[in-house]
Amino acid sequence: MKKRQSRVLVLLLCIFLMLTLSAGCSQNTAAPPAVSESDEWQPTEPVTFVIWASPGGGSDIYARTMAKALMEEAGVPVNINVESHAGGGGAVGMTEVLNRPADGHTVLVTTASWLLTPQTQNLSIGHRSFDPIAMVFSEPDVLYVRNDAPYKDANEFIEYALAHPGEIRVNGTGSGGREEISLINLEEKTGIDVTYVPSEGGGESIVNVLGGHVEAFTSNPGEAGAQVEAGNIRPILNFGTTPLQEEGVLSVIDLGYPDAVSTQLRGLALKGGTPENIRKYWEDKVLSLKDSADLKKYADDNGVIPEFKSGEEFFRISDDQYEMYGKMLKKLGII
C-alpha cells in the first residue's frame, strides 16, 4: 500500500514538473524578439512636425507642404500634424523635440536658427543634438539694388564700394542675423566698407531701397521676387550655391569666396539617438519626393531652390555654415 502511494506521488510530481517546464517554454516562445536597427520600420501612430515659428509663417507653410506630400505622395501611412513651439529663436522648438522619445514620431522642421541660436544664446544643445533626415530646400541670401543703380553686377558694386568707403547703405532684417552676417563676410573677403542698416523685414527693405533711403538690401528671392518681376529692383549677388532664376547673377563662389556662402537651409531632423532604421525610413521618404509637383509649385511660389540632399550631406553643409556664422558673430562682438 505504501509502495503504491509512493509511486502515485512520484507520478504526480513528474506531471507537475512537466507542466511547469511546458509553461515556461510556452512563455519563452511567445516573447517578441528584440527590435534591431536593421528591422524595417514605419510609423504606427500620428507623427508630429515641430516648428519653432508662429503658425501661418514661412516655416509653417513649408512644414504643412512637406507633411501633405509625405502622406499623399510618399506613402507615409499615418497623419502628420504640425505643432508650433515658438520662442527663444528656435530654442523652445528644439528642446520640445529633445524632450520626446527618439521613436521617429516627432520630427523637427529646421531653418538656420538651429545654427545661430545655440551660439548667440550659448546653449548646450545645437544641430548636432539631432539626427539629420534630409535637406529639402535652400533659400539663398541675395543682394538687391534698385534697377537704375550705377553698378550692373557684383564686380562693379565691389569696385564702387572700394572707391567710396562707407557710402553704400545696405538694409537687412535685424541685427546679428544671417543677412548682416552675409554682408560682414563679404566685407572681410573683398575689403569693401559698407554701412549696414537693420530693418524690420524684407518688405521694409524694399520700400527703403525704392525710396532711395538705402542703396541695397539683402533678402531672399521669395520676398523680393514680385519687385524683380516688376522691373523695380534686380539681384546682383547670390550668396547661395545654386544659380538664381535670373541669368547672369554672379555668386560668391563665382567671385572666389566659397566660404562666404549663406543660405537658409530648410530640412528635417530627428532627436539624437534615434535608431538608424527609423532615420533611414524618413530619409528615403523625403528623397523620394524629388519630382513632386506640389513641392515644385511650393518652390516656385516661395522663391526657394529644391536641393534634396541626404542627411549626411545636410549635416556637412550645416557644419560649414555653423562655423562661418560663429566666426562672423565673434567679429560682430555678439559672442
| Residues of the chain falling short of pLDDT 70 | 1-38
Fold classification of 147-260 (topology level) = D-Maltodextrin-Binding Protein; domain 2 (3.40.190)
Cα 329 from Cα 311, distance rounded (Å): 26
Q: Encode 64-102 in three state secondary structure.
A: HHHHHHHHHCCCCCCCEEEEECCCHHHHHHHHHHHCCCC
The full set of domain ranges for the chain reads 47-140+263-331, 147-260
pTM of the model: 0.78
Scan for cell 538664381, then name that residue. 244
Q: Report residue 134 CA to chain centroid gap.
A: 8
Fold classification of 47-140+263-331 (topology level) = D-Maltodextrin-Binding Protein; domain 2 (3.40.190)
Neighbours of 133 (CB within 10 A): 28
Neighbours of 226 (CB within 10 A): 12
SS3 112: coil
pLDDT (0 to 100) of residue 11: 40
Single-letter amino acid, residue 248:
G
Q: What is the DSSP letter of 55?
A: T
pLDDT (0 to 100) of residue 201: 83
DSSP secondary structure string for all residues of 149-161: -S--SHHHHHHHH
Instruction: Please report, in angstroms and rounded to a whole number, the separation of the first and last CA atoms in the chain.
Output: 95
pLDDT (0 to 100) of residue 174: 83
Cell output for 144: 538687391
Can 47-140+263-331 and 147-260 be said to share one CATH topology?
yes
Cα–Cα distance list, 270 to 47, 56, 77, 94, 130 (Å): 12, 23, 18, 10, 6
- Crossing angle of helices 58-72 and 276-287, in 10° steps, is 90
Q: Which of 176, 178, 225 is nearest to 330 (CA)?
A: 176
Q: How many CA atoms lie within 13 Å of 168's alpha carbon, on the beta-carbon side?
A: 27
SS3 193: coil
